[in-house]
Amino acid sequence: MLSNIKINEQIRDITSEQLVDKELTRLFPRRVIKRILLVVPPDVDVSIFNYTTAKRGRCWNYPPYGLGIIATHLRDEGLSVKITNLNNEILKECSFSNSESDFNFDDVWKTKLSEEITDFQPDIVGISCMFTQTHSSAVNVCNEIRRLNPVLPIAIGGVHITNCFVEDKMSDILLKDFKKADIFFLYEAELAFKQFIKMVNRVASLNKLYQVFFNSSSDRLYFPEKKIPTEDELNIIPAHDLMTPTELMNYGVIGSFFCMKEKGTKITTILSNRGCRGQCTYCSVRNFNGIGVRHRSVESVIEELDMLRNKYDIRHVMWLDDDFLHDHKRTLHLFTEMIKRNLGITWDCTNGVIAASCTDEIIAAAAESGCIGLTIGVESGNSQVLKKIRKPGNINIFIKAAEILKKYEQINTRAFLMIGLPDETYRMIYDTVRLALKMDLDWYNITIFEPLPNTPIFESVLQKDELNPTEFKNIKYNSGSYGKFQEKLNGNQFYSALADPFININLDAVPPKSQLNNIWFYMNYHLNFKRLYKVNNPIKLEQQLKYVQNITDLVAPEDPFPMYFCGYLQKKLRGKIDEQLIKRLEEVLQFSEYWRKRFEFFGLSADKLKSLNFSEELQYRLKPFSIAKNGLNTC
């Protein structure tokens, strides 16, 4: 199945053992690994990096949790480990720079990498690559290490590396692009990497390698047997001291709910489960983590939270889990323990939880244990689509979950929605709009579908979309700090049409790709911004103001829509609007015909904002799109 790769099936043979021994000695002539340098590449390469966005502090700056876990395992073996986070280095230097001309992206990470290699003198470097979008950046880091030191062995692992490898036809990509790497680790590889090092050091009790593929010999050895951590083996606290947990938020952001906390709050991430019960066709989690969910013990998670609070004064955490609420009993136990400990830590699930787990009992305990933000995975409001993408949940489950969530006003409630799935018609998308209106959550994160490797849907769209399965250099996500949406801030304004995208069309047609941005814009306006008119609860107003303020300050500072609604919420909640905000709005509308036209289309203006008067209660009249004219019901 895997072209170019010789699968070593007879590892127990003497011959195979000799082959492995020869290969390890070739890579490590002294057969000693004492110092391991673990490297986080910049999230993207210079071609995708955006100085202005990074300077604003809008880019993600996550702790390298996976490398932290590997570090703990290796330190337990008496090895010396260092983590260098080149992404943080880029964001830090960008933040300190005076202007774009003072800042040289490639110089920053290359200098740091060179210093680390010179100072630490590692015996091996391990690079992590999680995202497809990081592909080119990780290739550059590999090449640079090889340039700095022609004989230093390079190992690389992570979700993206695994995704490249397992897809038929795509394994070649590792050999083509990552030709300077020597060893590829696949799947969750903390135990596999530890075993590898022990084999190099000749201290392993077993002569076995796991989940590893060698690129450096004429016989490309691949050891497919897996050694994935069991639940007991997950009870390990990552080396937070190597992850600079209190520094990262100074130069970027973590999660989507950080803005609900006071500026300066120390925030980090934590993992409680691995895997997911779902098997959504656009997601690679099942292929990467395997079937089902493995849990860490509640005691181990609490110990980590305790340590984060006491040692680093962490006051908010984002769970990294794919299926955080899996196992009702264990989840309740975890929340009860958190409540008992009174840790003074709030938390959020930026990543999303499965709606069916949002029962009254769980959400009540979640709220009491410090939950301030929860996103549920919905994606579509059309049953046919939900079935096709194998989404766990149905319309009734989503509505029920929303009803429960809304009882806890301290939780900012959101849902993920997706548009542009294969064969999805206008009518199906409109079902999503209707469901969202009915659920009436605080915010909807809407993304345009993009096929990603190692997902069931990827193969099915390959031919149709003329994707090149071995070309990752140009993959750029739709969303996120470097996403395509960010491009509009660089003058590439892509909401072309002013007209309602649902009118005068055949609702049973599949929208062309060129229409998806317009549909996104309409949905975002009607489901998120326009909904703000009806928010009257002061707790909710406060949350929404913080979020919309964050959008206008960090995410989309040149977009007048968040400016307007930020002003609207300020006036409603505080009685007055920040003068700077009005000035910014007036300037954008004065100088940009593009935005002026769109503002007029939605009946908005700076004068309207200034003359807002809340003595009469605002009427909420949500008539999303003119779709009723097409004979469909509005909610």
The helix or strand, by DSSP H or E, that contains position 214, with its residue range, turns out to be strand 212-214
CA 310 to CA 424: how far, in whole Å? 50
* Binding partner at 128 among ligand B12, ligand SF4, none, C-beta below 5 to 8 Å by kind: ligand B12
Using CB positions, name the residue nearest to ligand B12: 66
16 near 10, Cβ under 8 Å?
yes
Considering the complex, state which of residue 129 and residue 589 has its C-beta at the smaller distance from ligand B12. 129
Q: How far is the CB of 282 from ligand SF4 (least distance, A)?
A: 7
Cα 15 to its chain centre, rounded Å, is 44
* Binding partner at 278 among ligand SF4, ligand B12, none, C-beta below 5 to 8 Å by kind: ligand SF4
Q: How far is the CB of 428 from ligand SF4 (least distance, A)?
A: 18
Q: Concatenated DSSP letters for 33-69?
A: --EEEEEEPPSS-TTT--HHHHHTT-SB----HHHHH
Cβ partners under 8 Å of residue 198, min gap 6: 77, 204
Considering the complex, state which of residue 477 and residue 522 has its C-beta at the smaller distance from ligand B12. 477
Q: How far is the CB of 324 from ligand B12 (least distance, A)?
A: 10
* Binding partner at 126 among ligand SF4, ligand B12, none, C-beta below 5 to 8 Å by kind: ligand B12
Considering the complex, state which of residue 419 and residue 606 has its C-beta at the smaller distance from ligand B12. 419
Structure tokens at 581: 């905000």
Considering the complex, state which of residue 87 and residue 552 has its C-beta at the smaller distance from ligand B12. 87
* Binding partner at 93 among ligand SF4, ligand B12, none, C-beta below 5 to 8 Å by kind: none
Cβ partners under 8 Å of residue 600, min gap 6: none
CA 542 to CA 371: how far, in whole Å? 16
Binding segment for ligand B12 (CB under 6 A), chosen from 112-120, 140-148, 182-190, 405-413, is 182-190
Q: How far is the CB of 445 from ligand B12 (least distance, A)?
A: 8
Q: How far is the CB of 329 from ligand B12 (least distance, A)?
A: 23
Using rule CB under 6 A, residue 562 touches ligand B12: no
* Binding partner at 131 among ligand B12, ligand SF4, none, C-beta below 5 to 8 Å by kind: ligand B12
Considering the complex, state which of residue 380 and residue 570 has its C-beta at the smaller distance from ligand B12. 380
Considering the complex, state which of residue 556 and residue 632 has its C-beta at the smaller distance from ligand B12. 556
Q: Of 190, 24, 42, 25, which is closest to residue 108 (Cα–Cα)?
A: 42
Cβ partners under 8 Å of residue 629, min gap 6: 503
Considering the complex, state which of residue 154 and residue 349 has its C-beta at the smaller distance from ligand SF4. 349
Q: How far is the CB of 380 from ligand SF4 (least distance, A)?
A: 12
* Binding partner at 392 among ligand B12, ligand SF4, none, C-beta below 5 to 8 Å by kind: ligand SF4
CA 426 to CA 515: how far, in whole Å? 10
Which residues within the stretch 368-387 sit at the binding site for ligand B12 (CB under 6 A)? none
- C-alpha distances in Å from residue 239, one per residue of 75, 142, 527: 9, 24, 41
- C-alpha distances in Å from residue 511, one per residue of 428, 515, 592: 11, 6, 28
Binding positions for ligand SF4, rule: CB under 6 A: 276, 278-280, 283, 285-286, 322-323, 352, 354, 377, 392
Using rule CB under 6 A, residue 243 touches ligand B12: no
Considering the complex, state which of residue 63 and residue 624 has its C-beta at the smaller distance from ligand B12. 63
The SS3 of residue 175 is helix
Which residues within the stretch 340-369 sit at the binding site for ligand B12 (CB under 6 A)? 350-351
Q: Strand 212-214's sheet: what is its strand order? A: 6-7, 221-223, 212-214, 183-185, 154-157, 124-128, 35-40, 80-85
Binding segment for ligand B12 (CB under 6 A), chosen from 156-164, 291-299, 525-533, 579-587, is 156-164
CA 220 to CA 625: how far, in whole Å? 57
Q: How far is the CB of 301 from ligand B12 (least distance, A)?
A: 14
CA 291 to CA 410: how far, in whole Å? 34
Considering the complex, state which of residue 14 and residue 151 has its C-beta at the smaller distance from ligand B12. 151
Considering the complex, state which of residue 286 and residue 530 has its C-beta at the smaller distance from ligand SF4. 286
Structure tokens at 264: 């300066």
Considering the complex, state which of residue 377 and residue 511 has its C-beta at the smaller distance from ligand SF4. 377
CA atoms within 13 A on the CB side of 70: 31
Size of the site for ligand B12 (CB under 6 A): 41
* Binding partner at 279 among ligand B12, ligand SF4, none, C-beta below 5 to 8 Å by kind: ligand SF4
User: Nearest 5 degrees, angle CA 630-CA 633-CA 634?
Assistant: 105
Using rule CB under 6 A, residue 413 touches ligand B12: no
Binding residue (CB under 6 A) for ligand B12 from 8, 88, 133, 244: 133
CA atoms within 13 A on the CB side of 171: 20
Binding residue (CB under 6 A) for ligand B12 from 42, 57, 122, 157: 157
CA 345 to CA 316: how far, in whole Å? 5
* Binding partner at 477 among ligand SF4, ligand B12, none, C-beta below 5 to 8 Å by kind: ligand B12
Using rule CB under 6 A, residue 257 touches ligand B12: no
420 near 513, Cβ under 8 Å?
yes
Q: Concatenated DSSP letters for 111-124?
A: HHHHHHHHHH--SE
Which residues within the stretch 273-292 sit at the binding site for ligand B12 (CB under 6 A)? 283-285, 288-289
* Binding partner at 158 among ligand SF4, ligand B12, none, C-beta below 5 to 8 Å by kind: ligand B12
Q: How far is the CB of 274 from ligand SF4 (least distance, A)?
A: 11
Using rule CB under 6 A, residue 451 touches ligand B12: no
Q: How far is the CB of 310 from ligand B12 (least distance, A)?
A: 23
The helix or strand, by DSSP H or E, that contains position 348, with its residue range, turns out to be strand 346-353
Considering the complex, state which of residue 137 and residue 382 has its C-beta at the smaller distance from ligand B12. 137
* Binding partner at 453 among ligand B12, ligand SF4, none, C-beta below 5 to 8 Å by kind: ligand B12
246 near 313, Cβ under 8 Å?
yes
Using rule CB under 6 A, residue 189 touches ligand B12: yes
Which residues within the stretch 10-69 sit at the binding site for ligand B12 (CB under 6 A)? 43, 60, 62, 65-66, 69
Q: Residue 202's CB: how many other CB atoms inside 10 A?
A: 11
CA atoms within 13 A on the CB side of 6: 13
Considering the complex, state which of residue 283 and residue 433 has its C-beta at the smaller distance from ligand SF4. 283
Helices of type H across 313-382 = 328-341, 360-368
Task: Tell me how long the chain is.
Answer: 635
Cβ partners under 8 Å of residue 607, min gap 6: none
What is the binding site for ligand B12 (CB under 6 A)?
A: 43, 60, 62, 65-66, 69-70, 126, 128, 130-133, 155-160, 163, 185, 188-190, 193, 271, 283-285, 288-289, 320, 322, 350-351, 447, 452-453, 477, 479-480
